[in-house]
Amino acid sequence: MEKIIEKHVQLNELENGGVGSPKGFITGGQNIGMRKTKPDMGWIYSERPAAAAGVYTTNLFQAAPLAVTKASLAKEGKLQAILVNTVSANSCTGEQGLKNACTTQKWMANHLGIPEHYVGVASTGVIGLQLPMDKMKKGIDRIKLGEAESWFEEAILTTDTKTKHIAVQFTIDGKKVTIGGACKGSGMIHPNMATMLGFVTTDADVDSDDLHLALKKVTDRTFNRITVDGDTSTNDMVLVMANGMAENKKLTVNHPEWPVFMAGLETVCRELAKLIAGDGEGATKLIEVRVTGARDEESAKAISKTIVGSSLVKTAVFGSDANWGRMICAIGYSGEPFDPTKVSMTLGDIVMFEHGMPVAFDEEKAKSYLDQDKIVIQASLGEGDGEAVAWGCDLTYDYVKINASYRS
Contacting positions for a copy of itself (CB under 8 A): 57-62, 89, 91-94, 126-128, 187-188, 190, 192, 229-234, 309-312, 315-316, 318-319, 321, 323-326, 328-333, 337-338, 340, 353, 356-358, 395-397, 399-401, 403-408
CB of 198 to a copy of itself, least distance (A): 18
Type of residue numbered 334? S
Q: How far apart are CA 70 and CA 67, in angstroms?
A: 5
Helices (H) and strands (E) in the chain, counts: 11, 16
Q: What is the DSSP letter of 211?
A: H
Q: What is the largest CA-CA distance in the chain?
A: 68
Q: How far apart are CA 211 and CA 33, in angstroms?
A: 36
Distances, alpha carbon 403 to alpha carbons 158, 188, 397, in Å: 12, 10, 10
CB of 185 to a copy of itself, least distance (A): 13
Q: How far apart are CA 253 and CA 259, in angstroms?
A: 8
Q: How far apart are CA 46 and CA 226, in angstroms?
A: 29
Contact 199, 43 (CB under 8 A): no
Q: How far apart are CA 249 and CA 246, in angstroms?
A: 9
Q: How far apart are CA 306 and CA 302, in angstroms?
A: 6
SS3 of residue 248 by DSSP = coil
CB of 263 to a copy of itself, least distance (A): 31
**Which CB sits closer to a copy of itself, 256 or 333?**
333
Catalytic residue status for 219: no
Q: How far apart are CA 276 and CA 222, in angstroms?
A: 11
Q: What is the H or E stretch that residue 377 is in?
A: strand 374-380
Please state whether the peptide bond connecting residue 299 to the residue before it is cis, i.e. omega within 30 degrees of 0: no
The active-site residue out of 195, 227, 292, 346 is 195
Q: What is the H or E stretch that residue 58 is in?
A: none
Best CA proximity match to 179, nearest among 11, 44, 6, 4: 11
CB of 154 to a copy of itself, least distance (A): 24
**Which CB sits closer to a copy of itself, 138 or 355?**
355
Type of residue numbered 215? L
Active-site residue list:
195
